[in-house]
Structure 1
């Protein structure tokens, strides 16, 4: 992929709305797809020849539903790499205690990624970073360059990307698996406040105070989510909480004093980096035509015949989007930032 130099945008003269880019948290959706079926009575989906397909089926189903509903002009899918990241280098207990990746998840994910590439959907990764950091970097750049951004994920960490200007929102995946799963819910500032009790800009400080067991981020020992919300509602930020210790009484103050270093460390660990050195341009993320025969062969291999008609419908959407974008304007984009994260 070429470095960022210019971005083709839909002309404001021909479109009253901003072009929409859909950023997909690949591993979040993949694992949710896996567990939606793997925990069922049959132990997951497989073809007649035994190929595991829970990940591929659930991911593709959700992807098509969201694309049909949102009709984005641009799409990018970020995945984690198997290697450790700068967070692991800073803290070797990061994500410790997580279960090993299920054995049948790995070939299923490989088949999914082969299918996504056949659909000409870009898969983005970055060495030493997580998918969240890739998504955060893309969201910030896209928002600055005139896009409406929507992030598809089941990870509340990404709520920190939601902005007051409503240029970036999160399509939050339901925690309900199986039949009757509701569609993703769109989260702006008010929806984050309703669910979490805090603003998107306070998500990092919230995790600094009460931690995150799923990532093994410690937070301040003894400070739970309700106390964290109360502190941030009263004082606004982690910095203001510590500046106001003389106003905080009893055990909470003692816990904060004892856990100050853990709070600062957890704050740094929870912060999504927005300056990942990616070499990608928006043109590579624009929906493009694809080889329908090649895609159909992969669908047949995975016994996804029910998707054929829907894929053809999306194929037409891709072609229509390509036609609309043919008269797009190009605007300059700020050059990529490449500083290495430090702790």
Structure 2
């Protein structure tokens, strides 16, 4: 049975960079985030046994969300100067593994991942540290979220999503429309916190229905909703992951991954990844053995 794993490349790179101590290539270039990314890839292959592997990354161009809100993500600090040059190296080693990488100018990796998940009717696991993507959980789609380090991870289906967020996946966008998101710098409805948002969505289910019944809501809460209605709907647009990005996607390409081949062997040497090269050989040998056994 096909099992598709989609990596949120930016989220995992950031997680790896902060989880691991500084490391350098033989030439002295920083490489710890790439090492962590590849280690996470190996863990996912070992734990989840994917048939198809895909990576998605952000692009440097402003996204459509910047047109909706100029201050979107404006307060985020500049990327660490030791991390930024590692993204090119991450692309290099992923491509050497024959794993396809997708991105789209004007959109975030989240939108590309949401689009791919929407295009295929397969069992999908999205590897990310970004809670925003819990809104994509449904049916055959789950999230696989690393913990503080890279050694442990939790799988999120609908039940786990509700336990963590207080609402089911299909309500997360409207939940964020109410509470906002400080990390992305949009406000939602100021004065409405998680407890009130969960209560409102529990009774009225959607943002539209909340506003349709605003006259029934406690006066102090209704006043905030009415005063900040524009912000609520703007926040809803910012929170919603796009699932129809125009990308040239071919699922078959994601099945061709091979961790140890002449191209990756050279990249392993360039980056000084001796132990990762040995593990790649072991994974490919185990994959070949499993394939041969399945023939009989």
TM superposition score normalised by structure 2: 0.94
- Report the Cα distance in structure 2 between the residues aligned to 1:212 and 1:228, rounded to whole angstroms: 13
CA distance in 2, matches of 1:135, 1:187: 16
SS of residue paired to 2:84:
helix
* Equivalent-residue separation in structure 2 for 1:87 and 1:325 (angstroms): 47
Q: Is the 8 A contact 2:146 2:154 kept in 1?
A: yes
Structure 2: gaps of 5 or more residues: none
Structure 1 pair 211/293, CA: closer, same or farther in 2 (3 Å)?
A: same
Aligned to 1:200: 169
| SS state at 1:220 partner | coil
Aligned to 1:80, which of 47, 58, 64? 58
Report if the CA contact (8 A) 1:289-1:322 is conserved.
no
Alpha-carbon RMSD: 2.0
The counterpart of 1:47, out of the listed 22, 25, 43, is: 25
Paired residue for 1:337?
none
Whole-Å separation in 1 of the counterparts to 2:7 and 2:245:
17
**Residue equivalent to 2:19:** 36
1:173 offset after TM fit, Å? Answer: 1.9
Match of 2:142 among 169, 173, 176: 169
What residue in structure 2 maps to residue 333 of structure 1? none
Corresponding residue for 2:275?
306
| Count of equivalent residues | 295
C-alpha distance in structure 2 between counterparts of 1:107 and 1:325, whole Å: 42
Aligned with 2:211 (options 220, 242, 246): 242
8 Å Cα contact 1:211/1:217 also seen in 2: yes
Of residues 129, 135, 141 in structure 2, which corresponds to 1:160? 135
Secondary structure of 1:106's aligned partner: coil
Deviations for 1:272-300, whole angstroms, at most 9, x for unmatched residues? Answer: 11101111211111133466233122222
Cα separation, 1, equivalents of 2:37 and 2:135: 24
Q: Which residue pairs with 2:251 in the alignment?
A: 282
Using the TM superposition, give the Cα deviation of residue 104 of structure 1 relative to its aligned residue in structure 2, in angstroms: 1.6
Change in 2 beyond 3 A, CA 1:51/1:256: same
Further displaced range: 181-190 or 134-143:
181-190
Q: Is the 8 Å Cα contact of residues 289 and 319 (structure 1) preserved in structure 2?
A: no
Give the Cα separation in 1 of the matches to 2:47 and 2:187: 38
Partner in structure 2 of residue 115 of structure 1 = 93
Q: Which runs of 4+ in 1 moved over 6 A?
A: 320-326
Q: 2: CA distance between counterparts of 1:36 and 1:290?
A: 23
| CA distance in 2: counterparts of 1:182 and 1:228, whole angstroms | 33
Q: 1:66 aligns with which of 35, 44, 47?
A: 44
Distance 1:82 1:274, change over 3 A: same
Shift of 1:65: 0.3
Shift of residue 309, structure 1, vs aligned partner: 2.2
Give CA deviations for 1:203-228 in whole Å, capped at 9, x if unaligned: 00011000011111220111112221
Superposition TM-score, scaled by structure 1 size: 0.81
In the TM superposition, what is the alpha-carbon distance from 1:241 to its structure 2 partner?
1.1
Q: Does 1:136 align with 2:114?
A: yes
How far apart are residue 320 of structure 1 and its match?
A: 6.4
